[in-house]
Amino acid sequence: MSTTWIIIALILGFIVVFQIAKASEYVAILRGEEKTRKENNRVNAFLMLAFLIAGLFGVWYCNEKLKGKILGEAASNHGERIDTMLYITIIITGIVFLITQILLFWFAYKYQDSDKRKPFYYPHNNRLEVIWTVIPAIVLTVLVGFGLYYWFQITGEAPKNAMVVEITGKQFNWEFRYPGKDGELGKKYFKEVNEAEGNPLGQIWSDPANHDDKYTTLEMHIVVNKPVKLIINAKDVIHDVGLAHFRLKMDAVPGIPTTMWFTPKYTTRQMKEKYGQDFNYEISCDQMCGKGHFTMRGVVIVESQAEFNAWLATKPTQYSVAMGDGTTQPAVAPAKTTDSTAANKATGKLMN
Amino acid sequence: MQEIDPTIHSTDVPVIHETHVEHNGNGHDHHHKQSFITKYIFSQDHKTIAKQFLITGMTWAIVGGLFSVLFRLQLAYPDESFSILETFFGRWAQGGQIQPEFYYALITMHGTVLVFFVLTGGLSGTFANLLIPLQIGARDMASPFLNMLSYWFFFMASVVMFSSLFVQTGPASGGWTVYPPLSALGLASEGSKIGMDLWITSMALFVVSSLLGGLNYITTILNMRTKGMSMTRMPLTMWAIFFTAILGVLSFPVLLSGFILLLFDRNLGTSFYLSDIVVAGQILPNEGGSAILYQHLFWFLGHPEVYIIILPAMGLVSEVMSVNARKPIFGYMAMVGSLFAITVLAFLVWAHHMFVTGLNPLLGAFFVLLTLLIAIPSAIKVFNWITTLWRGNIHFTPGMMFAIGFVSLFISGGLTGIFLGNSTIDIHLHDTYFVVAHFHIVMGVSAFFGMFAGVYHWFPKMFGRYLNNTLGYIHFWVTIAGAYLIFWPMHYQGFAGVPRRYLDFRLWSSFNQFTELNKMITIVSIIVFAAQLMFVFNFFYSIFKGRKVRTANPWGSTTLEWTTPINPGHGNWPGEIPEVHRWSYDYAKDGREFIPQTEPVGAKESKH
């Protein structure tokens, strides 16, 4: 019902505005078009000034209302650099914004049509133009310099002691794989993927490095103050690992693994104490991936090394799950799984 | 029918047409009267084609704008049910709630339609066609027939795109960039079924339209300028359209090739973009393709595309601003130079859309440098516009107001480009609402402002009548205030990391704090949309009932289009094409309000 009323109100408002507008045209003709034009000019010139003042107030007000709603402090080493860069850019562009907007609207107001003034024939001035070519160039050099300095730190090689976690995006959730004691992730091949037989990632069981790898979904556990290197995969379409609190993001592309590393600074518990119990480090998918894109949520748990070790110990290796045995690990892989044709046949059966 | 030899300048043509005034008085040798069809539908008159582009563009703008109102409703009221939606959209809005597939179809179509059909077809198509012959002094385009085809390919593209809205599996819904594999696999998304094929077909037709138009614009500007109209005497609109056309001709074919490979991947089993895919439980055979290849091909057009949108707006604004400040544009050569610089740089920055795709960081560094370089010509333009206002005598026509609004928005949106072009910051802001705010302000709303400035300014030339001024002023103030209210707070959502293309944030503890803000934005966008409808109404009403133009040169402008009759026929000038003696910005010179380009330079005239 309210929808109908809103539509009726809109139509009525529309008719009223139109009638006024039409009447104003007749009035203009009656009073003399030039006189009306001058009056309109004065009104609009004044509104330009009013808009500038209201706009600057609005910028301040918006900041007051919303500054508390943006993310808290960056929770990773890289995030700090990104925030620093962000603040440098806000300050520089803020100054330019204020100067140019004020000049624009002030000139619009000040130089409104007037019989007393003749416009100034001023087609060019080389010195001025050089000045406002060189100054932006210098400022931008500074921004590029800072930006690239941080960029290479962030995208540089991960430290040697970094723990490795593999994260795989699929419609519409995240899967994780941790290397076991060997610290190495086993090889994968997408045609080995077989959810029914406990191989959601397509691990190749003939690779012994796979035997102690552990698989989880939904939650990614990492250790506070320890660098972590993410190996990022996608199974179906492009996804993106978005870690807003760590200020990081990297696409997950099928067929092309990508990486990203960072050092988390605060445990989840510390952040909950600071920002409330609702706080979660969330993994958002930041690349359009289909109808469930907006539900593709994962959670990062940052914890101490001891907590992490305890948690990981409770998880079975995926190899044992696939082999139908949750407790022991066979020393060698059964021969049949090394045969990819057999695996494909099994997949085919599944499809049928 | 066309008897004009483009290589001959007007003054060389013997004046044999004086007696043909009754044939629209246009200097063409017509053997018979034009029928309704050849005059209004399959017309080869550039002015009619311009109107066709404009009206088609406006129609699409209403459709695209309506889509945005619909998805804004979902963002503001994710838990409410609007039964009216179910009435109109059936299962797409089951229970009065917009379904995810519908939401994604809406945003995809909103983007595609506005970027390509409105701000490329509608903007360039309208003003290139209308203004090129009129401002350089030509009777028509170099090839009026290709020009007509350009419109009709655009029309066919529109028909195909529109039909895709009605297929059972829905239109394309992978975002306007249609990245594969999502767009390549029907298994991955309903919208990637037949809707996607129609999308590609439509876009291919659109590229053809754009190329036919672009080649024509370039040829006409280079070859058909009237006597005395050297390149540096042209109004800035001409330069802007010239560079736009070059951008389009060089980059659209790359996009087309990208789309064709996508079509192959979809239908012929190739693996250009596909590799290692397990989707909906099926293991696909494709190996060896690269999904990133598509992004390179797409953005090689996609980035120039944003300049294809904004350059014509810059040209229109420069012209409208100079005329209404009653003062020459400041730094004409710098304006041309910066247009040129932007055109060249446009081809060298595409990968800044791909900083987080796993691009080599060293390569990313070069793209950061080249991207931020664009800020320099952009800054020059802004300072020159502001200086043009300085010590002017500003006439606040609705066109001028939109021109000033354009500069304000271009500053606001341009500065946020410095954030995103810097890869370090882009890591955090990529694909968040910050990006939405940035590009809507800098190329969406500003390009619209440029277009509105043009429509208000040249409406008298198009239809021999004025638009209603009062409605124009209301339109301007509602739109600029609304645009800032809608997009300014979105920057904060971006700082908070809120991702684009989410239709519901209730699941998230990090992004659910903007409920009130989202409502405010939606309400404002409905009001702004209503103001645009009012403009559309004003437009059509004024075509038939607007105040009549009674003087040939209502704005006191120097350029050639105002030397034609109030309602120019096919061929534009009844007699000879006027000769040009000076540049197009002699305002306020030597104590005179303006000196038309057709006036010979006096002996005592000062030099600039």
Q: Which residue do the tokens 């010509």 mark?
A: B377
The answer to whether residues B194 and B129 touch, using CB atoms and an 8 Å cutoff, is no
pLDDT digits (tens, 9 = 90+) for B563-579: 999 999 888 999 899 99
Are A71 and B387 a contacting pair at CB < 8 A?
A: no
What pLDDT shows up at residue A9?
85
Residues of A in contact with B468 (CB under 8 A): 21-22, 25
Spatial neighbors of A331 by CB under 8 A, at least 6 apart, are none
| Length of chain A in terms of residues written | 352
Tell me which residue in B188, B361, B530 faces A237 most closely, judged by beta carbons: B188
Are A255 and B277 a contacting pair at CB < 8 A?
A: yes
* Cα B211 to Cα A182, A335, B121, B124, B250, distances in angstroms: 59, 60, 11, 12, 9
CA atoms of A261 and B67, how far apart (whole Å): 39
Mean pLDDT in chain B?
A: 91
Q: How far is A163 from chain B (nearest CA, A)?
A: 20
Are B469 and A292 a contacting pair at CB < 8 A?
A: no
Best mutation site among A42, A44, A57, A60 for testing chain B: the one with the most B CBs within 10 Å? A44
Asked if the C-beta of B16 comes within 8 angstroms of chain A's C-beta atoms, the answer is no
In B, residues 50-109, which contact A (CB 8 Å cutoff)?
82-84, 100-101, 104
Q: How far is B58 from chain A (nearest CA, A)?
A: 19
Are B428 and A66 a contacting pair at CB < 8 A?
A: no
What is the average per-residue pLDDT within B49-67? 96
CA atoms of A127 and A265, how far apart (whole Å): 51
Q: Which CATH number, 2.30.30.240, 3.40.1260.10, 2.20.25.90, 2.60.40.420, labels domain A163-325+341-351?
A: 2.60.40.420
Q: How many domains does chain B have?
A: 1
The answer to whether residues B226 and B137 touch, using CB atoms and an 8 Å cutoff, is yes
Tell me which residue in A112, A251, A295 faces B394 most closely, judged by beta carbons: A112
CA atoms of B549 and B129, how far apart (whole Å): 22
Q: How far is A133 from chain B (nearest CA, A)?
A: 6
What pLDDT shows up at residue B327?
93
Tell me which residue in A86, A117, A155 faces B361 most closely, judged by beta carbons: A155
Are A154 and B424 a contacting pair at CB < 8 A?
A: yes
Spell out the SS3 assignment of B444-468. Answer: HHHHHHHHHHHHHHHHHHHHCECCC
In B, residues 540-569, which contact A (CB 8 Å cutoff)?
547
The answer to whether residues B542 and B466 touch, using CB atoms and an 8 Å cutoff, is yes
Are A89 and B514 a contacting pair at CB < 8 A?
A: no
pLDDT digits (tens, 9 = 90+) for B400-435: 999 999 999 999 999 999 999 999 999 999 999 999
What pLDDT shows up at residue B2?
43
Looking at residue B236, the DSSP 8-state letter turns out to be H
* DSSP-assigned letters across all residues of B411-425: HHHHHHHHHHTSHHH
Please check whether residue B11 lies inside any domain of the structure: no
Are A245 and B376 a contacting pair at CB < 8 A?
A: no
Q: How far is B370 from chain A (nearest CA, A)?
A: 10
Are A14 and B509 a contacting pair at CB < 8 A?
A: no
The answer to whether residues B260 and B175 touch, using CB atoms and an 8 Å cutoff, is no
Query: In the structure encoding, which two tokens stand for residue B328, read together?
Result: 């020459």
CA atoms of B66 and B55, how far apart (whole Å): 17
Asked if the C-beta of B357 comes within 8 angstroms of chain A's C-beta atoms, the answer is yes
- Distance from the first to the final alpha carbon of chain B: 44
What is the average per-residue pLDDT within B168-177? 93
Asked if the C-beta of B271 comes within 8 angstroms of chain A's C-beta atoms, the answer is no
Find the range with the poorest average confidence among A11-20, A88-97, B263-272, B441-450: A11-20
Query: In the structure encoding, which two tokens stand for residue B426, read together?
Result: 């882009």
The answer to whether residues B505 and B498 touch, using CB atoms and an 8 Å cutoff, is yes
Please check whether residue B348 lies inside any domain of the structure: yes
Grade residue B32 by pLDDT with cuts at 50, 70 and 90.
low
Which residues face A169 on adjacent strands?
A174, A234
What is the average per-residue pLDDT within B346-371? 94
Task: Count the Cβ atoms, other than its own, within 10 Å of residue A110.
Answer: 17
Answer whether the bond into residue B402 is a cis peptide, omega within 30°.
no
Q: Tell me which long-range contacts A34-37 makes (C-beta under 8 A, separation of at least 24).
A: A37/B395
The answer to whether residues A287 and A240 touch, using CB atoms and an 8 Å cutoff, is yes
Q: What percent of chain B has pLDDT over 90?
A: 86
The answer to whether residues A232 and A250 touch, using CB atoms and an 8 Å cutoff, is yes
Spatial neighbors of A171 by CB under 8 A, at least 6 apart, are A236, A237, A289, A290, A292, A296, B188, B279, B280
Please check whether residue B22 lies inside any domain of the structure: no
Spatial neighbors of A78 by CB under 8 A, at least 6 apart, are A153, A154, A246, A247, A248, A262, A263, B427
Are A151 and B361 a contacting pair at CB < 8 A?
A: yes
Spatial neighbors of A102 by CB under 8 A, at least 6 apart, are A52, A56
Best mutation site among B183, B433, B510, B594 for testing chain A: the one with the most A CBs within 10 Å? B510
Query: In the structure encoding, which two tokens stand for residue A145, read together?
Result: 């310099």
Please check whether residue B12 lies inside any domain of the structure: no
Best mutation site among B425, B508, B533 for testing chain A: the one with the most A CBs within 10 Å? B425
Asked if the C-beta of B219 comes within 8 angstroms of chain A's C-beta atoms, the answer is no
Are A93 and B587 a contacting pair at CB < 8 A?
A: no
Q: Would you say residue B22 has pLDDT above 60?
A: no
What pLDDT shows up at residue B608?
62
Predicted structure pTM score = 0.92
Are B534 and A17 a contacting pair at CB < 8 A?
A: yes
In B, residues 157-176, which contact A (CB 8 Å cutoff)?
173-175
What is the average per-residue pLDDT within B485-490? 97
Asked if the C-beta of B534 comes within 8 angstroms of chain A's C-beta atoms, the answer is yes
Q: How far is B322 from chain A (nearest CA, A)?
A: 10
Q: Would you say residue B11 has pLDDT above 80?
A: no
Please check whether residue B341 lies inside any domain of the structure: yes
Q: How far is B544 from chain A (nearest CA, A)?
A: 14
What pLDDT shows up at residue A325?
61
Q: How far is B32 from chain A (nearest CA, A)?
A: 41
Q: Which regions of chain A are under pLDDT 70?
A: 1, 325-352
Grade residue B285 by pLDDT with cuts at 50, 70 and 90.
very high
Are A119 and B325 a contacting pair at CB < 8 A?
A: yes
Using CA coordinates, name the residue in chain A closest to B82. A3
Residue type, B449: F
Cα A274 vs. chain centroid, distance in angstroms? Answer: 23
Residues of B in contact with A59 (CB under 8 A): 488
Are B423 and A97 a contacting pair at CB < 8 A?
A: no
What pLDDT shows up at residue A328?
46
What pLDDT shows up at residue A117?
87
What is the average per-residue pLDDT within B257-261? 95
Greatest Cα pair distance, chain A, in angstroms, is 100
pLDDT digits (tens, 9 = 90+) for B189-200: 999 999 999 999
Are B277 and A67 a contacting pair at CB < 8 A?
A: no
pLDDT digits (tens, 9 = 90+) for B451-482: 999 999 999 999 999 999 999 999 999 999 99
Q: Which residue do the tokens 């009653």 mark?
A: B326
Tell me which residue in A105, A193, A240 faces B356 most closely, judged by beta carbons: A240
Are B509 and A279 a contacting pair at CB < 8 A?
A: yes
Asked if the C-beta of B511 comes within 8 angstroms of chain A's C-beta atoms, the answer is yes
Greatest Cα pair distance, chain B, in angstroms, is 84
Are A111 and B390 a contacting pair at CB < 8 A?
A: yes
What pLDDT shows up at residue B544?
95
Query: In the structure encoding, which two tokens stand for residue A90, read together?
Result: 């806000």
User: Domain limits at B274?
Assistant: 43-591
Residues of B in contact with A97 (CB under 8 A): 411-412, 415
Are A290 and B182 a contacting pair at CB < 8 A?
A: yes
Residues of B in contact with A71 (CB under 8 A): 495-497, 510
Provide the 3-class DSSP secondary structure of residue B499: strand
Domain at B473, CATH number: 1.20.210.10
Are A136 and B379 a contacting pair at CB < 8 A?
A: yes
What pLDDT shows up at residue A31?
84
Tell me which residue in B182, B375, B509 faces A136 most closely, judged by beta carbons: B375
Query: In the structure encoding, which two tokens stand for residue A170, read together?
Result: 């699929």
Q: How far is B197 from chain A (nearest CA, A)?
A: 17
What pLDDT shows up at residue B24?
43
- Domain coordinates in residue numbering, chain A: 26-113+124-155, 163-325+341-351
